[in-house]
Amino acid sequence: MSVHYDPGRLDDANYTLGTLCSEFYERFGEKAKEIISRICYQRGVALGRRFLRKEDKSFDNAIKAFVAVSEKTKTPGKLMSLERDKAIIHGSGCPLGLEKKGRPLCEMMMTLDHGIIEEASGKKIRFKVKKTLAAGDAFCEVIFEMEE
- Residue 79: closest CA among 51, 59, 54, 100: 59
Q: What is the CATH number of the domain that holds 117?
A: 3.30.1380.20
Q: Is residue 123 part of a domain?
A: yes
pTM score, whole prediction: 0.92
Structural domain range at position 107: 9-146
Q: Is residue 89 part of a domain?
A: yes
| Helices 30-48 and 111-121, packing angle to 10 deg | 30
Q: Is residue 78 part of a domain?
A: yes
pLDDT at position 5: 85
Alpha-carbon 129 to chain mean position: 9
Q: Is residue 55 part of a domain?
A: yes
Contact (Cβ atoms closer than 8 angstroms) between residue 110 and residue 96: no
Q: Is residue 50 part of a domain?
A: yes
Q: Is residue 4 part of a domain?
A: no
* Per-residue pLDDT tens digits for 74-93: 889 999 999 999 999 999 99
Q: Is residue 2 part of a domain?
A: no
Other Cβ atoms within 10 Å of 63 Cβ, number: 20
Q: Is residue 96 part of a domain?
A: yes
* Per-residue pLDDT tens digits for 41-75: 999 999 999 988 888 899 999 999 999 999 998 88
What is the phi/psi pair of residue 118, to 5°? -60, -45
Q: What is the DSSP letter of 50?
A: T
Give the count of domains, the chain. Answer: 1
Q: From CA 110, how far away is CA 130, in angstroms rounded?
A: 12
Other Cβ atoms within 10 Å of 84 Cβ, number: 7
